[in-house]
Chains A and B, each alone.
Chain A
Amino acid sequence: MITQTQGNNEMINNLDKAVKENSKDAPKWLEEYRSNALNRFQELGIPNVKDEEWKYTNISSIAKTSFQGAQNNEDTTLDSLKNYINEKDINIVFINGFFSKKFSTIDDSSSGISISTLQDAILSDEKKIKSLLEKYNEKETTSFVALNKALSTDGILISIEKKAVMKKLIHILHISDTQATSFTSPRTIITSEKLSEATVLESHIGLNNDQTYLANALTDIFLEENAILHYCKIQAESKKAYHLGNTRVWQERNSNFNSLSVMIGSAINRNDLDIVLNGEGINSTLNGLYMPFDKQHMDNHTCVDHRFPNCTSNQLYKGILSDASRAVFNGKIFVKDLAQQTNSYQLNKNILLGKDCRVDTKPQLEIFADDVKCTHGATIGQLNEDELFYLQTRCIPRKEAIRMLSKGFINDLLFHFEDDNVSQKIHQLLDPSLNKL
C-alpha cells in the first residue's frame, strides 16, 4: 500500500520533526503513543484507489499537496464568528486547531459536565486520559486515525457526569481561518457516563473560501450504560479544503446514540463513522445528509458492529447531487454470531440533479447470526417530473419547484433533532446550498 510516488513524508512537512516537537514536554507514555501512531501511519502509507476502502475516493491530490502545521490566528474577530456562536450554548471554540479561550464559554458551564482541553486533562487526571486514549487497538487503526493521533496536540475532553441531563447544547466549533496551506488535527473525546443525556454539535467551518487546507479530525465517543447522546456533525469547510473525519463510537448496554452528519463544504470530504455495539439493548441511529455542488466529492463510510443480542441500528443517508459532483456511500453492517435478535436497517437515497454527477454506493451486510432482521436499500433517481409539473401549473417557477421538492426530500433529516437550536444551525448553514439548487 505504501507508494513511494505519493511520498507520504512530503504530504506533511517534516512529519517526524513535527511529531517530536509536539511531544517536547509530554509525559513519556504520550511520547510513545505518538511515535507508535507515527510508525503505524508510515507503515500503512496514504491509501490509494487500489485499496478497497478507498476505491471510489481518489486522494492523490491530497497526497501531492504539501501541508504545514497550522498557526494560531489571533486576528479572528468575534464579528466573523457571531453567526456561528450562540451565547446560550456551551461553546468550545478552536481556531486553526488551537483552543481559543477568548471565544469559548465553558467557564460558566453548569453542573453535571466537565470540559477541559486534553493538555489540561493530562495534567490533572493522567490515568483517565491514558485509558481513554488507549481504548482502541493501535493495530486496527487506519492511516488517518494514526496520523491524527501522531499530530494532534490540542483537543477537548467532554465528560457528561452520571445522571446529568444537559439542557444546554454543547457546541464544539472548529474554525479554520488561515492563509496558508496548513493542516489541523482536531481531536475530541466525549464520555457520557451512566444515565446521562446530552446534545453535542461539532461543526467545522472554513472562513476563507479560497484556501486549501487539510482537516484530519478524530472524535471518540464513549457511551456508558443507559446513556443518551445526540450528536450532530456539520462540515462546512472552505470549498477548496480537504476534510477527513473519523468518528468512533463505543456503546455499552442500553445506551442510545443518535447522530446526524451534515456535509456541505470541502473539495474532498471523507467521513468514517464506526460504531461498536458492545452490550445488549443498544439503540443507534446514524443519519447523514450531503449536498455536493460543482466538483465536490463526498464520501461516507459507516460501520456498525453488532456484538450482542437485542440491539437496533438505523441508518438513513440522503444526498442531493448537483453539477459534476460525486458522492460515495459505503455502509457496513456486521452481525456477529452472538448478536441474535438484531434489527438493523440501512437506506441510502440519492437524487441526481446535475448532468455529470456520479454516485457509487455499496451497502454491505455481513451476518453470522440467524435470528436477525437486516435490510438495506439504495435508490438513485431524479425528482418526479409529474410533481414538478404539478407545482408549475400552480404558478411556481421550475427552479423554486425543484427547491421545494428537494427540501421535502431531506426534511425528515433536517428536523431529526428535537433541539431547535441544532435544527436552526443546520438550516443556517444549509440554506445557501438549498438556494443554489
Chain B
Amino acid sequence: MSKITEENLSNEDTIAANKLSSREYKYGFYTDIETDSIPAGLNEDIIKMISEKKKEPSWMLEWRLKAYRHWTTLKEPKWPNFKYGPIDYQALSYYSAPKNFEEGPKSMDEVDPELIKTFDRLGIPLSEQKRLTGVAVDAVFDSVSVGTTHQSELEKVGIIFCSMTEAIQNHPELVKKYMGSVVPYSDNYFAALNSAVFSDGSFCYIPKGVRSPLELSTYFRINASGSGQFERTLIVAEESSFVSYLEGCTAPTRDENQLHAAVVEIVTLDNAEVKYSTVQNWYAGNEQGVGGIYNFVTKRGKCAGKNSKISWTQVEAGSAITWKYPSVILQGDGSTGEFYSVALTNNRMEADTGTKMIHIGKNTSSTIISKGISADESNNTYRGLVKIMPSAENARNYSQCDSMLVGNKCSANTFPYIEVNNSSATMEHEASTSKINADQMFYIMSRGLDMEGAISLIINGFCKEVFKELPMEFSVEAVKLLEMKLEGSVG
C-alpha cells in the first residue's frame, strides 16, 4: 500500500491531497422581515388553518385532509443510500409568510420593498424597470408567492401563469382536473405530506397551439427558520404547445436542517412539449455537514398525449441531502422523455438522485444522461428505473451515467433498475466511474492553463452534454456555480 501511495504522490499532490474548499455560500443571508407564521405542529386543525388563510374552496380542504389522513398511515421510507436525522414533523411550522400577505399576492408595486431588495440580491429583479428580458418569474418566499412578473404579457396569448393560491381561486376547474393526476396524494410519504400542507407554488397553463413567448420560472427562497417549504407546481401543456420552465432555489445559512418537500407535476397533451430546468443551490451545510436543506422532492411528468415530450434538466449543486427522481410516464404513443442531470456533491453532502422512465405507449423513447461529481467526503448516488411495460411496443431507451470522483474520501454509487417486459424493446445502459485523468491535466497545463483552469475545463467538458440542454442564462449560471463550488479544489 505505502508503495503505491508514494508512487502516486506526484499526482495525488495535485489531486487527492488537496481539500476542496468552495467559496462561501453567497446566498446565505437572512432577510429580517416581519412574518406571519402559524404555530408549529401538524394536525387537521393546522391544515384547516392553512386552507382558511388561503381562502380555499371546500373541495381543496377535503383533498388536503384526505392526504393528511393517508399520510398518518404511512411510514417514513428507509431505503435511501444515506442517513438523515429524524425529522420531527410536529416541530415544524407549516406556514410562514411575510406580513400583509393575508390578502394574497397583490400587484407588483405594492410588494414590500424589503422583499424586492431580497430578490434583487439573489439576482432576480422583480421591479418593472429591471426585469429580466424574456423570463417571467414567480417568486416564492417561504410559504407564499410574492409576485409574478409579466403576467399581462402572457395573458395576451392565453397563458395562465400565477401562484397556486390564485389558480385555486380563479381556475378551480383546471386545478381540480389536473392536480394529483400525475402525483396522487397517496404516491409516497413526502408527496402525501406535501398534498396535506402545501402552501403555495406556481401554476402554469399553456393553451392549445401556443408557444410561450417567454421562459417561465419559479424562484424558491426559504427565509424563516423552524419551518419547511412545501409548494406544488403544476404545469399543463395543451395540444401542440411548448413552454420552457426554469426553477431556482436558495436558502439562508443556518445550523438547522430545513425540509423542502415540493411536488412538481407536468401534463403534456398531444404534440406538446415541456422543458423543465432546475438549478438547485439550496444551502448545503458547512464543511462539517452541519445544517443545510433536506431536498426531498417528488417531480413527475406525464406524457398523456401522442408525440408529446417532457424534458428534465437539473443541476444539483446544493442541499445537505438531495433525494429526488424527476420521472416521466410515457403514456401517449410516440412520446419522448428526457433526463439530463449534473449532481455535484462536496463537503458532507449526500445526493441520491436519478430518474424513472415508465414506458406505456407504443414507440416511446427516453434518454437519460446523468453526470455525478463527488468531492471531499460526500456521497453521490445515481438511482434510476427504466420500465418497459408489456404494452410499450418498440420502446427505446438510452442511459448513460458517469461519475467522477475528486479525492479519496468520497463515494459514487450507481443503482440502475432496468425492467423490460416487452420483447420489442431496445435499451442500452452504460455507466462509468473514474477520476480526472492525470494525462489530460498535464496536457492542458502544459498549454499554459493553471490548475484550476484545467480542472474547470475538464469538469465543464464532462458536463457539457447536460449544460447544452439548459437555456442560455441558466447554462452560464450553472457553469459559474460549478466553478465556484469546485474552486480551490483539484480533482
Contact = CB atoms under 8 A, between A and B. Distances in A.
Interface of A: 52, 56, 309-310, 321, 337-338, 340-341, 350, 352-382
Interface in B396-452: 403, 405-421, 423-435
A144 to B, nearest CB: 23
B423 A357 contact: yes
Contact of A380 (B390, B406, B411, B426): B426
Contact of B424 (A361, A365, A382): A382
Given A340-B8, A357-B423, A370-B406, A375 B430 contact: yes
B349 to A, nearest CB: 16
B423 A365 contact: no
B486 to A, nearest CB: 15
Complex A-B, nearest 4 residue pairs according to Cβ-Cβ distance, in ascending order: A352-B423, A370-B405, A377-B430, A378-B429
B4 interface: yes
Nearest to A52: B79
Contacts, number: 124
Nearest to A330: B417
Contact of A363 (B16, B421, B429): B429
B414 A364 contact: yes
A293 to B, nearest CB: 14
A268 B111 CA distance: 67
Nearest to B428: A379
Nearest to A310: B4
**B interface, over-half SS:** strand
B1 to A, nearest CB: 7
B1 A309 contact: yes
A374 B401 CA distance: 12
B433 A382 contact: no
A380 B427 contact: yes
Interface residues of B, number: 38
Contacts of A341: 4
B4 A309 contact: yes
A379 B420 contact: no
A364 B15 CA distance: 26
Contacts of A367: 403, 405, 411-413, 433
Nearest to A357: B423
Interface of B: 1, 4, 8, 15-16, 79, 390, 403, 405-421, 423-435
B434 A372 contact: yes
A361 B388 CA distance: 12
A56, A364, A365, A370: residue with the most chain B Cβ atoms closer than 10 Å: A370
A86 to B, nearest CB: 38
Given A341-B4, A367-B405, A354 B411 contact: no
A368 B411 contact: yes
B430 A376 contact: yes
A56 B199 CA distance: 40
Contacts of B431: 363, 365, 375-377
A153 B34 CA distance: 77
Given A309-B1, A356-B423, A378-B418, A366 B429 contact: no
Nearest to A332: B415
7 contacts: A337-B409, A350-B420, A360-B420, A364-B414, A370-B407, A372-B434, A381-B428
Contacts of A371: 8, 16, 408, 435
A361 B418 contact: yes
Given A364-B415, A380-B418, A355 B423 contact: yes
A362 B429 CA distance: 10
A152 B207 CA distance: 70
Given A362-B416, A376-B430, 7 more contacts: A355-B423, A356-B423, A362-B415, A365-B431, A372-B434, A377-B430, A379-B427
B416 A363 contact: yes
A374 B433 contact: yes
Contacts of B403: 365, 367
Listed residue (A353, A364, A367, A372) with the most chain B CB atoms within 10 angstroms of its CB = A367
Nearest to B421: A358
Contact of A338 (B1, B411, B432, B435): B1
